[in-house]
Amino acid sequence: MPDSVLAGGVPSIPEFRPIQKTVFAERAQRLRDLAQGHAMQEYLLFASAVARAQAGELELFPDTPVPDRARLEHCQRNGLPPLSIDSPPHVGWQNGLQRLLDALNQEALPPRAAQIVTTLHDADAAALERDRANVLAGAYAEIDPGRAPFIGAALQVHWAKMALRLGKSGRSAGVEFGLCPVCGSPPVVSVIQTGGAKQGLRYLVCSLCASQWHVVRVKCTACASTKGVSYLFIEGGTDAVKAECCDECKTYLKILYLDKDNRMESTADDLATLALDMLVDEKGFRRVGPNLLLSPG
């Protein structure tokens, strides 16, 4: 069925927005812009360099095997994400990681990051598979926090390649509420869109594959409750980014209002508003999904 058909004269809501191939290049640019005069300048410039390397990898090595048609149909029949993080990825993700590290070797990285690049270059395949499993499971206590953003970045590109190849056919309807319909990961943020058919609609952005899916507003994105949802933001800071907090399940997810600032990019603006996470954390709310470019240490 077409994505946006007229049903009884009312335009239906596009439920799914597939990843765009410019995602990493735009993220790199936005991170560089945000870094100017920011308290986290060094980290944002580092994240920008990582996103730039991701953009290069996606451009130069776009092909990664994807599930065949029978597998896609099976997933769609059973409400399973076709690129599920529960299945180990093709080993090619490790080649992608090595190319990312090579690209980052050309960048002026902070000394600690440069050291980790060298360590990861020499890491054996089994150790990298353990890192991969821990990052995808959100088991950050089990991984060196310095390594996590590099592993996360390589996995993002690997999944982005697959999601790009599948396009709209990569989405499965009926995947568990709150999880990406393509890969089953939790979201990094939600975004209120502007312009055209998507004006005012809220989409969750996948923390791993950058696919976007629609969830109505004023509803907890983790437990679907509409009771006890409140919005916290930093006094005197931007009101274009708030934390949507749920009293029912005690979780939160940031929400970005593009009508207040249309330059925002999901992962970049999430990173640049870490102070908001700290505020909300102090109030006892747990974050729903990770930002894979953030070092959890």
Tell whether residue 23 is a contact of Zn ion (CB under 5 A): no
Supply the minimum distance, in Å, between the C-beta of residue 19 and Zn ion: 8
Kindly identify the residues of this chain, within the stretch 242-281, that bind Zn ion according to CB under 5 A.
246, 248-249
What number of chain residues touch Zn ion (CB under 5 A)?
A: 15
| Beta carbon of residue 81, minimum distance to Zn ion (angstroms, whole number) | 7
Question: Which of these ranges, 45-53, 90-98, 176-184, 275-283, lies near Zn ion under the rule CB under 5 A?
Answer: 176-184
Nearer Cβ to Zn ion (155/182): 182
Rounded-to-integer distance, Cα 109 and Cα 122, Å: 18
| Contacts to Zn ion from residues 216-235, by CB under 5 A | 220, 222-223, 225
In the set 28, 157, 182, 215, which binds Zn ion (CB under 5 A)? 182
Query: What residues are paired with 206 via a beta bridge?
Result: 187
Residue 267, CA distances (Å) to 34, 154, 170, 274, 290 in order:
12, 15, 21, 11, 10
Beta carbon nearer to Zn ion, 136 or 276: 136
Cβ-based nearer residue to Zn ion, 11 or 228: 228
What lies within 8 Å, CB to CB, of 195 at 6+ separation is none
Going 151 to 64 to 47 to 272, the CA torsion angle's sign is negative
Rounded distance between C-alpha atoms, residue 208 and residue 83, angstroms: 11
CB 39 → Zn ion: shortest distance, Å? 30
> Per DSSP, what are the bridge partners of residue 230?
245
DSSP letter, residue 179: S
d(CA 193, CA 191): 6
> What is the three-class DSSP state of 165?
helix
Q: Is 192 near Zn ion (CB under 5 A)?
A: no
Q: Which of residues 25-64 bind Zn ion (CB under 5 A)?
A: none
Q: Tokens 């050291």 appear where?
A: 115
Shortest spacing between CB 136 and Zn ion, in angstroms: 11
Residue with structure tokens 């953030």?
294
Measured from the CB atom, is 51 or 104 closer to Zn ion?
Answer: 51
180 part of the interface to Zn ion, by CB under 5 A: yes
Q: How far is the CB of 3 from Zn ion (least distance, A)?
A: 18
Length of the chain counted residue by residue: 297
Site membership for Zn ion, residue 151 (CB under 5 A): no
* CA–CA separation, 130 and 143 (whole Å): 9
Chain positions 193 to 212 lying near Zn ion, rule: CB under 5 A, are 206, 208-209, 211
Name the site residues for Zn ion (rule: CB under 5 A).
Answer: 180, 182-183, 185, 206, 208-209, 211, 220, 222-223, 225, 246, 248-249
